[in-house]
Amino acid sequence: MTKRFFGTDGVRGQVGTYPITAEFVLKLGWAAGKVFGNTRASAGRNLILVGKDTRVSGYMFESALQAGIIAAGVDVSLMGPMPTPAVAYLTRTFRAQAGIVISASHNPFHDNGIKFFGGDGFKLPDDVEHRIERFLDEAIITAESVDLGRAHRVTDAAGRYVEFCKGTLPYGFSLAGMKLVVDCAHGATYHVAPDVLRELGASVIELGVQPDGFNINEGCGSTNPELLRQRVIESGADVGIALDGDGDRVIFVDQKGELVDGDELLFIIAKSRQGRGAGCNGVAGTLMSNFGLERAMTELGVPFVRTAVGDRYVIEAMRERRWNLGGENSGHIVCGDLTTTGDGIVAALQVLKAMCDSGADLHDLKDGMHKLPQSLVNVRVAEKIDLQHQSITGAVRDAEQKLAGNGRVLLRPSGTEPIVRVMVEGEDVSLVETLAQDIAEVVEAGAS
């Protein structure tokens, strides 16, 4: 069955445009309450946790969700601004039936979304999303007063998550002597990421830690790292760390100001793990993962598989194979032995540990993987476009012939935005950029 509202990462869109409205989110909260209210609670009453990022619309949607869930007869714990992975972690520790995050991740402030975690801390399977959607077709029936849910605020959520992040490292591990710049994108990590790093002994320079409801991801964070690059170079920091608005993505800047993306970070973590203890039993990437990562895994003797784009598909592949590492080039990195979802802070700590264990700087560590030049062009479309149209398939075929077997072409509609992503990869950077632009122009013409 096709889902009407749930995409690859919950329900997302522009605030005020259906379904990202107060009315819909109220009903979504009630529908979620009906589904999870039928789940047996291990600690008495059924409970749903709700966290959010720093968007101004989060207040409205938090209230709407709260009202809907309570009307369905389920308790609500409100955590305020908290990273997405923190909600996943705290859902497990509170023994809640579900966790909900109000966030549009790396999108601008005028977008928002609702994403869910089950009681196990993993994103919901398709059948549960279908059950929630079926309740959306029913009229809201408020529980009897004696059966209404109750709400309370969790005042120590940030401290709990800070301790969890530190606990993913061995006892006694220290970042003393390291100077780090951390960019929190004016988002949900603004009050936790700097504390984690400082409490581990690092000297921390903060960026993007003054959210005002409107500046989330604006000119900062993992999607806009230029300010971070400048500050790393100016301050002589060892590395820069850029998180996105909800804290499930991370990219780095090395001491020379060069970007280190998710593929390179995966390589660094995998190589570090492969060199000690139980090793690295496999890495799951996506269709967008650079071919250089695949080649590097082969050289390390680490199995590698590609999935559809989206961290939920990466996690599914990891769980099927019982692998502990996977991620996306955008910076979603999942350390399955430590947490259940992409976690920017936890992944950053794994990279910092690899640096400390090896004694090498980040620039040298990333040079162990040779990335093929990759050009990505985003084409905005007004409506769904037929990517099998003759003009588009012809442009792709021509590009593949020019790459002569030394590269690849990928066209992929975004699961969260009205965008078609055109990616070309190959050995010749000039050719790759030209081909990507040529195909993008054909796609744009077909969308107009």
Cβ-count burial 9-37 (b if 16+ within 10 Å, e if not): bbbbbebeeebbbbebbbbbbbbbbbbbb
How many other C-beta atoms can be found within 10 angstroms of the C-beta atom of residue 336? 17
Nearest CA among 368, 364, 331, 367 for reference residue 350: 331
Tokens encoding 122:
């993993």
Any idea what DSSP says for residue 123?
A: B
Q: DSSP class of residue 391? A: H
Is residue 283 classed as helix, strand or coil in its secondary structure? strand
Angle in degrees, CA 13, 14, 19, rounded to 5: 60
Half-sphere exposure of 115 (CA within 13 A, CB side): 28
- Residue of 57, 105, 330, 375 marked catalytic: 105
CB 283 within 8 A of CB 328: no
String of DSSP letters for 133-179: HHHTTSPP-PPPGGG---EEE-TTHHHHHHHHHHHTS-TT---TT-E
Specify whether 105 is catalytic: yes
d(CA 13, CA 360): 43
CA-to-CA distance for 400 and 130, rounded, in angstroms? 39
d(CA 309, CA 326): 12
Backbone φ and ψ for 300, nearest 5 degrees, come out as -80, -10
Q: What b/e sequence results for 400-409 when a residue is b if at least 16 CB atoms lie within 10 Å of its CB, and e otherwise?
A: bebbeeebbb
Q: Rounded distance, CA 430 to CA 5, Å? A: 40
Q: How many CB atoms lie within 10 A of CB 444?
A: 16
Rounded CA gap, 186 and 208, in Å?
A: 4
Structural contact between residues 279 and 270, judged by C-beta atoms closer than 8 angstroms:
no
- Measure Cα distances from 37 to 33, 34, 118 in Å: 5, 5, 12
Whether residue 19 has a cis bond before it, omega within 30° of 0: yes
3-state secondary structure 166-193: HHCCCCCCCCCCCEEEEECCCCCCCCCH
Residues serving a catalytic function are 105
